[in-house]
């Protein structure tokens, strides 16, 4: 009788372990692990497979337009002109940024590399179908970074969006702490596209693999 119960308990534990492992390997946290591992092991190719730089920059397009030609201070024709110019430079800027990422990750002089598991344990992940909101927070410094992740069709989870206000706030703190540069930061206008919290696309299932 005792042996029968033992087998039931073992089967229950095994099934639970299998489910947890399967869920981890097919979820956004696995992508976060791969990103952390790519930084730790100096593997930029893996990093770029899980971080869609082109889409992240594309998500900042309206923020850049609002910075150059604020809504209410510039007419629609001027904003459309700026929007077109920003769009024209997105592709080469994306390639340039990707090159800088590769160079930074490959840097042999980088020290104090984070563990591959750092992002996994630091992230608060809220999943909604094929989309996930990831929040990295440092309560001691009052800092946070909100990112949007999406499951590619027949592909991995990727970071596809970064909250612009969080990004500017972190950049401001970095410049002040490391270079003594004081930045007069104002929140990005929440006009045509709010970025206070990344939201899933209306029909994620129709997203095409890039």
> What's the confidence (pLDDT) of residue 21?
62
Per-residue pLDDT of the chain (210 residues; tens, 9 = 90+): 456 556 556 555 555 554 556 575 789 999 999 999 999 999 999 999 999 998 888 877 777 777 777 777 778 788 788 778 767 777 787 888 899 999 999 998 887 778 889 999 999 999 999 999 999 988 777 789 999 999 998 899 999 999 988 887 887 776 677 666 665 555 545 544 444 455 555 554 444 444
**How many Å apart are CA 191 and CA 83, to the nearest integer?**
14
> What's the confidence (pLDDT) of residue 207?
45
Residue 154, phi-psi category: left (phi > 0), alpha (psi -120 to 50), beta (remainder): left
> What's the confidence (pLDDT) of residue 34?
95
SS (H, E, C) 156-196: CEEEEEECHHHHHHHHHHHHHHHHCCCCCCCCCCCCCCCCC
| Contacts of residue 20, Cβ cutoff 8 Å, sequence gap at least 6 | none
> What's the confidence (pLDDT) of residue 202?
54
> What's the confidence (pLDDT) of residue 111?
78
**Number of other CB atoms surrounding residue 134 within 10 Å:** 25
> What's the confidence (pLDDT) of residue 194?
40
Give the chain's length.
210
3-state DSSP helix/strand/coil percent for the chain, to nearest 5?
A: 55, 15, 30
**Number of other CB atoms surrounding residue 110 within 10 Å:** 12
> What's the confidence (pLDDT) of residue 64?
74
CA dihedral 145, 149, 155, 156 (to 10 degrees): 40
Domain extent listing, the chain:
2-107+122-184
């Amino acid at each position: 009788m005792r042996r029968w119960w033992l087998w039931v308990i073992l089967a229950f534990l095994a099934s639970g372990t299998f489910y947890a492992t399967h869920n981890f390997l097919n979820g956004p946290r696995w992508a976060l692990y791969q990103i952390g591992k790519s930084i730790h092991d100096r593997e930029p190719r893996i990093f770029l497979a899980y971080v869609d730089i082109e889409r992240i920059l594309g998500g900042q397009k309206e923020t850049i337009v609002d910075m150059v030609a604020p809504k209410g201070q510039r007419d629609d024709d001027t904003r459309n002109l700026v929007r077109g110019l920003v769009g024209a430079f997105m592709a080469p800027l994306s390639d340039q940024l990707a090159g800088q990422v590769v160079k930074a990750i490959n840097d042999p002089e980088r020290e104090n590399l984070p563990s591959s598991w750092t992002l996994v344990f630091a992230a608060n992940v809220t999943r909604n179908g094929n989309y996930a909101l990831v929040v990295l927070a440092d309560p001691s410094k009052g800092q946070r970074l909100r990112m949007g992740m999406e499951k590619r069709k027949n592909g991995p989870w990727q970071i596809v969006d970064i909250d612009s206000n969080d990004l500017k706030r972190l950049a401001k703190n970095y410049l002040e702490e490391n270079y003594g540069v004081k930045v007069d930061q104002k929140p990005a206008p929440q006009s045509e596209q709010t970025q206070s919290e990344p939201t899933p696309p209306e029909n994620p299932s129709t997203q095409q693999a890039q």
